[in-house]
Structure 1
Amino acid sequence: MASAGLQLLAFILALSGICGIITATLLPNWKVNANVGSNIITAIIQLQGLWMDCTWYSTGMFSCTMKHSILALPVYVQTARTTMVLACILSALGICISTVGMKCTQLGGDRETKSRTTFAGGLCFILSGLFEKAL
């Protein structure tokens, strides 16, 4: 029973991990520049992300522009986009495969098949983490 409890805990941690990966991929907080002029009234904060660039003015105005052209982006942004999207895909695949291999589900067949399925799900999570850390 303790093994099933640990599997559920790992599954919940994996779900929170995939939420974190998706959030990190979509938010524009990858590069932050703060430009303060001669006084605080002219302060501008520029946020650059993988999918959009945003500007926040000290007056409270916030504007974002999407990055539509893939080929116009620097190579490091293209690489970061690719690795983060692969990490998201592999995490989602790992969630699906791990669900089949868990002891508390009736999917997947006998014990040996479930253990192989769980191993494949864990391998997807490891590859996802490697893609995320490759940046």
Structure 2
Amino acid sequence: MSARCTHVLGLLLSIIGFLGTIFICALPLWKVSAFVGSSITTSQIDFVGLWVTCVIRSTGKMQCKSYNSIQDLPQDLQDARVLIVFAIIIQFCGILLGVGGSKCTNFIPDARRKTKADIASGVLFLIAARLVALPVYWTTHAIFKDMFNPDLTNNQRTELGASLYIGWVSAGLLYLGGALLCCSYFCRN
């Protein structure tokens, strides 16, 4: 594959991973729990996210509430909030460097500096992929650990939310995109 195709493919995969990271930051779907009372009229579904927690009652009414303080958030989600925000900032810088290092732009006139921008962009995406994968792994591990905890009732157990699945895919795309951007240097030489 040519250097230009490798660069474009790496940048495209990284941008898709960036969008996925924004989704997992914004969506309140990290942990999902369902509570069913003695009758169907007392059932509710709880969604826990990084910024808000939402409840859908059996009537179809949805209520979302932001956290009053950071102590209201479980420890794994407190850490996830910080790491995901840092990952978004790093990915944005990586996109700027990746676009600047592209052969079809004139932001950086020197070819050697464009190559350095490509490598720096790839390294930033690899770091961001690690920052996305860590909190997704921690939260997944905590959910699986609580799933088999005999001290918890069925109503206290949580399940994997959609944000965790999107997070795994986003981290994989960021790893692949960052690696392709770093490899585009070797394709040029």
Q: Specify if TM > 0.5.
A: yes
4+ residue runs of structure 1 moved beyond 6 angstroms?
none
Q: Which residue of 2 aligns with 1:24?
A: 24
Change in CA separation of 1:72 and 1:32 when aligned onto 2, cut-off 3 Å:
closer
Of 125-134 and 102-111, deviating more is 102-111
Alpha-carbon shift at residue 72 of structure 1 (Å): 4.5
Alpha-carbon separation, structure 1, partners of 2:39 and 2:104: 61
Quote the residue 2:88 is aligned against: 88
> What is the CA distance between 1:71 and its match in structure 2?
4.4
2:42: which partner in 1?
A: 42
Q: Is the 8 A contact 1:47 1:54 kept in 2?
A: yes
Structure 1 unaligned segments of length 5 or more: list them: none
- RCO higher in structure (CA 8 A, sep ≥6): 2
Report the CA distance between 1:65 and its aligned residue. Answer: 0.2
TM-fit CA distance, 1:63:
0.5
**Number of aligned residue pairs:** 135
Residue identity over aligned pairs, in percent, reads 35
Task: Report Cα offsets for 1:84-132 as digits up to 9, x if no partner.
Answer: 1111111111001111111121221222111111100111100100111
1:73 alignment counterpart: 73
Partner deviation per Cα, 1:59-97 (whole Å, 9 max, x = no partner): 110000011422443432221111111111111110011
Q: CA RMSD in A?
A: 1.6
Q: Report the Cα offset of residue 8 of structure 1.
A: 1.9
What residue in structure 2 maps to residue 126 of structure 1?
126
CA distance in 2, matches of 1:73, 1:5: 43
The gaps in structure 2 that reach 5 residues or longer are 136-189
Which secondary structure does the structure 1 equivalent of 2:32 belong to?
strand
Aligned partners of 1:36 and 1:43 also within 8 Å: yes
